[in-house]
Structure 1
């Protein structure tokens, strides 16, 4: 008996190791058999099936779509109790049926109209004919989610189909609290399946049963997980969503670590543009996981929709639900120039989970068709605005904001000055790309990694003192300041006389009280303005002394243009922008712009240094978003300051 137990334990250990080795190798050398290829779209029949499947003939309620070419799952839960109420006896038919020869479909008006809409959306000649260019477009690799989905209020054939990106987003039903979604009848090819049951109870109860049946095959959710969004139906109510790559759903093409890392990157890309975080969770119960991901082929993972083999559908997803990838496709990591980019496909499918429909716009990650592109994948402006329409924009405060000026040689070998804009909060920083109105892809990063030698968290301010004979940068925190060496990209440890850094503010700037709230350098008068509480103190760098008459109240030095519209004190940051050629004062999640010389020239009634009415930071500097701590340390290469 002991010997038998030992042999069994050794066998289990061997199988576990074999599984580990299998999933750790690169399977790019595997060649798929011709039988795994998806069938091409060449005939009117297959074209009509394509147009119906993806909602071009009439919108499809993807969330409650019947099982397509897949056996209904056997559930442990009992079937809905009202199944017998709409069952009726079928018509009498003969036991022996002679097969009729197949005939080619004759194009009908609905097919021709749908074909024209498809051609228009794909920038093809709008002919209404199934020509070669249209067939080519239909055979392109794509997402399995319909292009036009029925809204919850859909009323069947009268639903119109548009080609704009802002399609109505469907609501997601919830079995546990018996929420029912009305859906239009599905125009799916009846040769695959037919649920056309007729009885006196009407079609509503049939759809209600089918909706329940599909919902029973998906995981149950708590009603508290969702809230109503007035524009786009339901959305996630949580600030942080948990996701997991299923253990039974690993890909055969990539090592497991590569799969998880790529999916983590995909979730992070969405976190960088909206106030929703994603956390990989490998330990919680399955019922606590918000988004489950997995790879499979053909009939897979108990899904209601079968994959088609290599070449057409790469993946599919459900609004507020799960994501499946077709493992007949050759998925590759982001830096590979061969195969199908798992990152690009995953970013697209996560968009569907969040509530986005397909967007017919070049450059959008939500295009229905897979379009190979370089490794610098980013969310398009329309992608960002579409998801923010559902979840809102990121709203944050910042402790330090500044422009970092550096010198480089231009194409003619001449020195040229450049600048980058940075936002700091807590221990993280973002570089802001003013020309594209967003943060740099991959930010935020750790302050301690990108800016060596300065305090790694909670900085109070930054100044770049730049005059005819002075050019140096300083960071401030509490009662101390650090000088930064831009050439070696690190803080100085001592000055030219051997004095150590950091230094006390009271020693380097006599007469300046500390600790400070924030600080900025004004090139107009060569003064450094130190803010503390409700007061501000000016220090002239040419005379190296405090300006007479200071400290003064901030409201006196920077008066409000509009009565009572003023931060008064306790500022978070003060910032001179080279891009806007303006000074800004930040407090909490809003800012005030200081009146500049051009504005005073146009309107002499404006006071010098007057503060214009406040605006939200997110209205001028977009998408400066937090990401979940588990997503922050991902080996980013954005650690330089240029």
Structure 2
């Protein structure tokens, strides 16, 4: 009988090891993808409510309000050792004499003389009256669902400021203790330590700036041993992809989901209680719902009721995931309403997004997105109101390679969810590498053109698609030389000057002026760009090979774009104030990202992920 039991134990251990080693089997995917509404889940443990001064002081200590917490080092504290069953239990066990069950009592916490001051700091940061008393509003705030990361952290002492110990630090501190005296770590803890050490060795070699990731593309994975039981795997992955994308839309970091590789930068998982080899246990339903470490792993408490973005019940996994990714990127808690980094959970609104302070805080670490664009323009279209009256709207678009962003000038940001493929938003025009856009708009002409190579396409704003034939029976696309006789072909950039009723075509160091009234090139053109559009400061001019020319209706100004800089053209109002300024002069250059914010590339794997 003992041999049979032993054999069963061995088989179970082998099966468990095999399940941990495989990378997602069909049966696992089927189980996790199914609707779990038919399962009666067990009652989830509840977090202890904070009602007493002792509990409040423990809360303040845990989250750094008494003394800053060495949170990054705590990630590697030993996980609690579970009681081991004795080998011969029958010689050690006997019936107890007491007829009543003993209730476990936690050690009594001595109230610190500084408790009142710590409480005042907490109250002030959370917009409460700083009384230093544990009043009802303070208890309500302390019992809200919140992130498990401390509000006030001590600086990390590790050299590379990443998550785990270096691989050279693998020997136990007290090597003389072996065998049963050594703490036994479970399989998941060992696996996680292995991956963390590999990642940190690599990061220590690559990272010259320990305040942030050294790479520009970070790989993440929802771990197979850490799926949630509340949402399907696909739901979890979609939500996490969106959360990572929201950060990549504002910083020059891209996030790639990697399902098979070993070099993973951020590992994501769900667990309950003591989980995933982590030293920090979750507390059940209520209070702590997740935690994360700077430049490392993210864990969610699966006792909480996580839901998708469209649900009005439960805790939004998207909002929590965005918050925790912020911690993995190095952001602290921000005690301000509207910030995604505020420690306490607030229900997700319809237009959940990173606010201004969130964006600027993360950009201090990783910088702002930078780069140039092949075409920038304000797209004007005619509309009618309910009374049939005509009015005009415009939107600003930035094109680069095969992608485009719509820029919201009022909010100084790109539309959330951009970039999008040109081919999906601009029917009939070339799918990539558009050279220029021109809108000829006079009292008798209203025509929009896209240029690529030697050809030009006319665009119909009412039907929102390129013409194949216009009302004059002109077929499109057609050669630039046919549509605009004498104009260069191909072009680097072009724009229409309403004041002179001229189209300026740019190629190399030359510019050619084309009269839309006479349908021909203006005499004595082409000319040097620097002669027609002289610099305000002699040493500061794009000279040639312009990427784009953009007339902005928002700023009522024209901008020359080259590489990651822009030169603003001198306006008539400028010359009225200072007659010494040159006509069509160009002010000294400035960075594109100093005026138009957060026009960022995102990883191709998340480009089509809908919010």
TM-based fold match above 0.5:
yes
Cα gap change, 1:142 to 1:120, in 2 (>3 Å): same
Cα gap change, 1:607 to 1:265, in 2 (>3 Å): same
Contact 2:481/2:489, CA 8 A, preserved across alignment: yes
Following superposition, the deviation at residue 45 of structure 1 comes to: 1.2
Rounded Cα–Cα distance in structure 1 between residues aligned with 2:296 and 2:400: 33
Q: Which residue of 2 aligns with 1:488?
A: 463
Tell me which of 225, 231, 244 is aligned to 1:254. 231
Structure 1 spans left out of the alignment, 5+ residues? 1-8, 75-97, 155-168, 181-196, 198-212, 637-642
Q: Which residue of 1 aligns with 2:604?
A: 629
Contact 1:64/1:214, CA 8 A, preserved across alignment: no
Contact 1:242/1:291, CA 8 A, preserved across alignment: yes
Cα gap change, 1:543 to 1:102, in 2 (>3 Å): closer
Rounded Cα–Cα distance in structure 1 between residues aligned with 2:366 and 2:103: 54
Deviations 1:180-220 (A, max 9, x none): 9xxxxxxxxxxxxxxxx9xxxxxxxxxxxxxxx99958721
Q: Which residue of 2 aligns with 1:48?
A: 57
RMSD over aligned CA atoms reads: 3.0
Cα gap change, 1:259 to 1:105, in 2 (>3 Å): closer
Cα gap change, 1:258 to 1:47, in 2 (>3 Å): same
Deviates more, 1:407-416 or 1:59-68: 407-416
Cα gap change, 1:235 to 1:178, in 2 (>3 Å): farther
Following superposition, the deviation at residue 64 of structure 1 comes to: 1.1
Cα gap change, 1:73 to 1:386, in 2 (>3 Å): farther
Following superposition, the deviation at residue 468 of structure 1 comes to: 1.0
Q: Note the 1:260-339 alignment, pairs <5 A.
A: 260-285=237-262, 288-339=263-314
Contact 1:151/1:170, CA 8 A, preserved across alignment: no
SS of the counterpart of 1:293?
A: strand
Cα gap change, 1:31 to 1:465, in 2 (>3 Å): farther
Q: Which residue of 1 aligns with 2:116?
A: 112
Q: Note the 1:55-204 alignment, pairs <5 A.
A: 55-65=64-74, 70-72=79-81, 107-152=111-156, 171-172=161-162, 175-176=165-166
Following superposition, the deviation at residue 177 of structure 1 comes to: 6.3
Cα gap change, 1:436 to 1:411, in 2 (>3 Å): farther
Q: Note the 1:486-565 alignment, pairs <5 A.
A: 486-565=461-540
Following superposition, the deviation at residue 328 of structure 1 comes to: 0.8
Rounded Cα–Cα distance in structure 1 between residues aligned with 2:469 and 2:380: 22
Q: Which residue of 2 aligns with 1:619?
A: 594
Contact 1:591/1:617, CA 8 A, preserved across alignment: yes
Q: Note the 1:444-455 alignment, pairs <5 A.
A: 444-455=419-430
Q: Note the 1:189-268 alignment, pairs <5 A.
A: 219-220=196-197, 221-225=199-203, 233-268=210-245
Following superposition, the deviation at residue 593 of structure 1 comes to: 0.4
Following superposition, the deviation at residue 628 of structure 1 comes to: 0.7
TM-score (norm 1): 0.81
Contact 1:479/1:514, CA 8 A, preserved across alignment: yes
Contact 2:148/2:289, CA 8 A, preserved across alignment: yes
SS of the counterpart of 1:36?
A: coil
Contact 2:294/2:327, CA 8 A, preserved across alignment: yes
TM-score (norm 2): 0.85
Q: Which residue of 2 aligns with 1:79?
A: none
Following superposition, the deviation at residue 222 of structure 1 comes to: 3.8
Following superposition, the deviation at residue 415 of structure 1 comes to: 3.2
Following superposition, the deviation at residue 373 of structure 1 comes to: 2.4
Rounded Cα–Cα distance in structure 2 between residues aligned with 1:631 and 1:102: 47
Rounded Cα–Cα distance in structure 2 between residues aligned with 1:420 and 1:59: 48
Rounded Cα–Cα distance in structure 1 between residues aligned with 2:425 and 2:161: 43
Following superposition, the deviation at residue 23 of structure 1 comes to: 1.0
Tell me which of 350, 367, 376 is aligned to 2:351. 376
- Is residue 340 from structure 1 mapped to residue 315 from structure 2 by the alignment? yes
Following superposition, the deviation at residue 422 of structure 1 comes to: 0.6
Rounded Cα–Cα distance in structure 2 between residues aligned with 1:490 and 1:445: 16
- Is residue 359 from structure 1 mapped to residue 334 from structure 2 by the alignment? yes
Cα gap change, 1:53 to 1:276, in 2 (>3 Å): same
Deviations 1:507-555 (A, max 9, x none): 0111112111010111111111100110101111122221122111100
Rounded Cα–Cα distance in structure 1 between residues aligned with 2:324 and 2:265: 14
Contact 2:54/2:111, CA 8 A, preserved across alignment: no
SS of the counterpart of 2:561?
A: strand
Q: Note the 1:366-405 alignment, pairs <5 A.
A: 366-405=341-380
